[in-house]
Amino acid sequence: MPLQPVHPTPPLLVPPLLPPLVLRTENGFFGAKRPAVGAFGDCEPCSRFEEPPFPPGEEQPGRYVKHQLHEAVDLEGEAGDCVFAVYTGRVVEVESSPDGVRGDVTIDHHPSGTGLVSRYLHLEGASICVAPGDSVVKGDVIARIGSGPADPHLHFELRIVVDPSDRRFWSDRNSIAVDPTRLLYRFEADALPLVPAGAASAVTSIGVETVARVPLFRASTADAPIPYSIPMYEPTTEHERGLAGVLTKALELGRPVEVEYRDSVFFGPHRVPASVRLA
């Protein structure tokens, strides 16, 4: 009996870039360490550090190294790629460099201005087509990716406001970052064409590999150089656990499998199984 795909309710949000989405796995994932060197007052404001400025019992006057945690995800793109509002809301902040090369946009998605906030950085400042106070609908183009960074990409944040009393309620000190990785991965996977199952093939190995702090169940088959991958961090769905279970059982029994899948590039080249059938 094949394990068929389950189609959950579509998410309310839309992706900020056109799929396929590609995560910058080397240091652009949520929670990545971003080293900042210098005295405390020299650093740009950030919400928290991975380690204190002075180790317990040890004083280090002058300059020291600390790690800023990346509370966003960086998505690969090309300069000029359109950036979209992920949900309906109101623009609360627009910043642009004097030369128009770099800019960012912040959108509040709660009618009272105290809920979910999205932020978009590394935009081309001159391309930003919204202003503070503007209303946007999900999917509206708000800007283009800029050429400012050496490797153009979109820095995307989702934050939940916890202290609306400050005028800048969307700032780091008044909000908590939410990891959008799983949601973005689902956008990318769902947008890709389904590849029908071919001839049955033996499962040759299974295991778990961590990519960008995300544990991925990996299964390789005799005829596929690219592994099948299933994200195994919560909220893992029953369907995903079932797919991993069938692939594991196939290896134990020495049974070949027929797999429907999608070719994904979000965590690097891999295949996302949609259904698995023991042959």
| pLDDT tens for each residue of 127-160 | 999 999 999 999 999 999 998 767 899 999 999 9
Whether CATH 1.10.10.10 fits 195-278: no
What's the angle, vertex CA 192, arms to CA 263 and CA 201, rounded to 5? 35
Other Cβ atoms closer than 10 A to 28: 22
- Confidence bin at 202 (pLDDT 50/70/90): very high
Contact 146, 78 (CB under 8 A): no
Distance CA 65, CA 52 (A): 10
Q: What's the distance, CA 186 to chain centroid? A: 10
The CA-atom distances, in angstroms, between 262 and each of 180, 182, 273 are 21, 16, 7
Tokens 């990318």 found at = 188
The sign of the dihedral angle between the CA atoms of 2, 216, 239, 197 is: negative
Start-end of CATH 2.40.50.110 domains in the chain: 195-278
Secondary structure (DSSP) of 182-246: HHHHHHHHHTSPPBPP-S-EEEEEEEEEEETTEEEEEEEETTEEEEEEEE-SSS--HHHHHHHHH
pLDDT at 10 over 60: no
Which tens digits make up the pLDDT trace of 78-135?
Answer: 999 999 999 999 999 999 988 888 999 999 998 766 689 999 999 999 999 999 999 9
CATH fold of the domain at 12-34+68-191: Glucose Permease (Domain IIA) (2.70.70)
Token pair listed for 107: 């959108």
What's the angle, vertex CA 36, arms to CA 33 and CA 41, rounded to 5? 135
Q: Lowest-confidence range among 111-125, 172-186, 190-204?
A: 111-125
Q: Tell me which H or E stretch contains 68.
A: strand 64-69
Other Cβ atoms closer than 10 A to 72: 24
What is the predicted pLDDT for the residue at 274?
93
Could you tell me which residue, 217 or 48, shows the higher pLDDT?
217
Which tens digits make up the pLDDT trace of 11-63?
Answer: 578 999 998 999 999 889 999 987 654 434 444 545 555 555 555 555 555 44
Start-end of CATH 2.70.70.10 domains in the chain: 12-34+68-191
Q: What's the distance, CA 210 to chain centroid? A: 15
pLDDT at 276 over 90: yes
Other Cβ atoms closer than 10 A to 98: 7
Contact 153, 116 (CB under 8 A): no
- Confidence bin at 169 (pLDDT 50/70/90): confident
The CA-atom distances, in angstroms, between 225 and each of 219, 243, 270 are 11, 19, 9
CA-based end-to-end distance of the chain: 9
